[in-house]
Structure 1
Amino acid sequence: MEVLPVGTLIYIIYLLLMVYGWLIVARAVLSWFPVRPGGLAFQVKRILHVLTEPYLRLFRRLIPRARIGPVGLDLSALVGLVVLFILVQVLARL
């Protein structure tokens, strides 16, 4: 079994982080729209939630919801994307 070069491994991790970032964006966008339970959009939303929630939960524990009048705004996706972006930039420079 041949071992992959370090550059290839870094590139694979870079791509996975980019895809994960897009999954977080898709989840955030879908959260703006109501979906019918059992429909295709509901299933997609559920899958995105399962894939991204463990990561976003880390930030949700640290950052309270921003209060805008009676509404609490969850900024965990935004903070999670910023952290992912920083990781991607670090990997791109290796």
Structure 2
Amino acid sequence: MSNQLMYYVARILELYSYVLIARVLMSWVPDVERTSIGRFLVKFTEPYLGFFRRFIPPLPLGGGYLDLSPIVAIFAWHFVTVGVLNVLSWIL
């Protein structure tokens, strides 16, 4: 039973990391955020990504800006995933 729980928790956390990556890739294509899938991804990921945007300002790059907060957020999500799985394995 504990192995199944670990498996499902790991898959859910992994799925969210894929959603984060999809959101970052989606930001490179201008009109994708206006689709129903795009609106869902924005609504689902913005609370997490917005937290990092408050602390990491975009870097000026030529005529625009480079937002590094999604990169930091994905790395942080990896550490959260590893931490949650380690705590669960210790508890179970």
- Contact 2:33–2:42, Cα closer than 8 Å, also in 1: no
Match of 1:35 in 2: 31
User: What TM-score do the two structures reach when normalised by structure 1?
Assistant: 0.75
What is the Cα deviation at residue 37 of structure 1?
A: 8.2
- Is the 2:13–2:81 Cα contact (8 Å) retained in structure 1? yes
Offset at residue 86 of structure 1 (A) = 1.6
Aligned to 1:60: 53
Return 7-16 or 44-53, whichever deviates more: 7-16
Relative to its length, the structure with more helix (as a share) is: 2
Aligned length: 87
Structure 2 residues not aligned, in runs of 5+: none
Structure 1 partner of 2:68:
75
- Does structure 2 conserve the Cα–Cα contact (< 8 Å) formed by 1:56 and 1:80? yes
**RMSD, aligned CA:** 2.4
**Partner amino acid, structure 1, of 2:52:** F
For the pair 1:18 / 2:11, whether they are aligned, the reply is no
> Could you list the runs of 4 or more consecutive aligned residues of structure 1 that deviate by over 4 angstroms after TM superposition?
none
Partner secondary structure for residue 72 of structure 1:
strand
User: Shift in Å at residue 36 of structure 1?
Assistant: 7.0
